[in-house]
Amino acid sequence: MGMIPARFDYRQAGSVAEALQLLASCDDAKLLAGGHSLVPLMKMRLVSPSTLIDISGIAELQGVTDTGSVLRVGALTRHRVVERSQVVAQHVPLLAHVAGLVGDPQVRNRGTIGGSLVHGDPAADLPSVALATGATMVVTGAAGERRIAAADFFVDFLETAVGPDEILTAIEFPKRTGAGFGYEKFVRRSMDYAIVGVAVQAGDQPGIALVNMGSVPRRADAASQALAGGAGVDAVAALAAEGTNPPEDLNANADYRRHLASVLTKRALLAAGYR
């Protein structure tokens, strides 16, 4: 009954190259970033990797860089750093806002953006930002670097396009300077995972993405298209749950989730400046 992980080995990687080498040489190893998704699973013995490769000390994967056209956020940047970053607040304000709504301060001080995205939890907040803004994931493996669009990144429940021998090194967010945004997170208990969440990015390439409305984080495609086509908030909100297959749990059945998705979409659209 839980809370005590099985035995594992622990290795520290000082660089991406070293981490890749360790990944290749250990069977059944897992990368350890902030540990705030992985360690709970290990404690419940839902996963029992033989080796943890701690990448949290790799300097090249930390921090936010303004490359001109995009903001490049290192995979190991903690939620708290993203939340407080002036550059992020200026150029991808939706990201800073949502990073500040992840869990509680302890979680935000440990958890990393890369860990959150690679974990692929449909109930996590940050994947919706990547989807709504059209971010690009930068992944490194033995064969070199790959770039994956957010829309192609989330494959299945807790599964992403990052291969077992690869590392997510950075996320590139297109700048949305000055554009409106909205994020609505519905919870019963504060600081919890979203029962349903909706992210809206306004601007010339608007996007709407959903949290906890299926087995993977996903864009609200129909609603996003309607928005791009100039539909009004009510019409867009009505399409929010289109094509989704929402989960059912003690907090919400599928009907309620669909309803919440459209209510929250409307609110997020209004927050983003749409009328």
Partner 1 sequence: MSLIGAKVLRKEDPNLITGQGQYVDDLQPAGCAFMAMVRSTEPHARIVAIDTSAAKAIDGVLAVWTHADIAALPARPSSLPGMDMPLITGDVARFVGDIVAVVVAADRYTAADAAEAIIVDYESLPAVASLSQALAPDAPMIHPVLQGNTVFFQDYTEDLSAEFAAAPRTASLSLVNNRCAPAPIEPNVVLADWGPAGLTVWAAFQAPHHLRNTIAAFFGISQDTTRVIAPDVGGGFGAKINFASEIFLAAALSRALGRPVKYTQTRSECMVAMFHGRAQEHKVDVAFDDSGKILALKVQVTQDQGAYPDATGMGLPVLTTAMSAGCYKIPKVAVSWRNVVTNTTPVAAYRGAGRPEASYMIERVIDLIADETGVDPIEVRKTNFIPADGFPYQTHSPLAVYDSGNFAGALDELLRHADYPALKAEQAARLADPRAKLLGIGFASWLEIAGFGPPGSLEAFGHLASWESAQVRVQPDGSAIIYTGASPHGQGTVTTFAQIAADQLGIDFDRISVRHGDTAVIPQGIGTMGSRAVAVGGEGVKTASTRVFERAKKIAAHLLEATEDDIVVENEEFHVRGTPSKSVPWSQVAWKSFQPLELPAGMEPGSLDATVFQQVPNFSFPSGAYCCVVEIDRETGDVDIRNMYLVDDCGTVINPMLVEGQVHGGVAQGIAQALYEHMQYDESGVPRTATLMDYLVPAAPDLPGYVSGRTVTLNPSNTLGAKGVGESGSVGAPPAVINAVVDALSHLGVKHIDMPATPQKIWSILRGSK
Q: Which residues form the interface with ligand FAD (CB under 6 A)? A: 30-38, 40, 75, 102-103, 107, 111-112, 114-116, 118-119, 124-126, 162, 167-168, 193
CB of 143 to partner 1, least distance (A): 38
Name the strand (E) or helix (H) holding 173.
Answer: strand 167-174
Residues interacting with partner 1, by CB under 8 A?
A: 1-7, 44-45, 104, 186, 188-192, 249-253, 256, 259-260, 263
Per partner kind, with CB cut-offs from 5 to 8 A, the member of partner 1, ligand FAD, none near residue 186 is: partner 1
- Closest CB to ligand FAD among residues 32, 227: 32
1 binds, among ligand FAD, partner 1, none (CB under 5 to 8 A by kind): partner 1
Rounded least distance, CB 240 to partner 1, Å: 13
Q: Which does 63 bind (CB under 5 to 8 A by kind): partner 1, ligand FAD, none?
A: none
Helices (H), 44-137: 79-84, 86-91, 93-99, 105-110, 113-119, 126-133
User: Largest Cα–Cα distance in the chain?
Assistant: 56
CB of 93 to partner 1, least distance (A): 23
Tokens for 211, please give them: 């949290």
Question: Residue 45 touches which of partner 1, ligand FAD, none (CB < 5 to 8 A by kind)?
Answer: partner 1
Q: Where are the alpha helices (DSSP H) in the chain?
A: 16-25, 38-43, 79-84, 86-91, 93-99, 105-110, 113-119, 126-133, 150-153, 221-228, 233-238, 254-271
What one-character DSSP code corresponds to residue 193?
P
Token pair for residue 74?
């290192």
89 binds, among ligand FAD, partner 1, none (CB under 5 to 8 A by kind): none
Q: Between residues 62 and 205, which has the closer beta carbon with respect to ligand FAD?
A: 62
Sign of the alpha-carbon torsion through 93, 95, 99, 101: positive
Q: Identify the CA nearest to 232 among candidates 274, 169, 179, 183.
A: 274
In the complex, the smallest distance separating the C-beta of residue 8 from partner 1, rounded to whole angstroms, is: 10
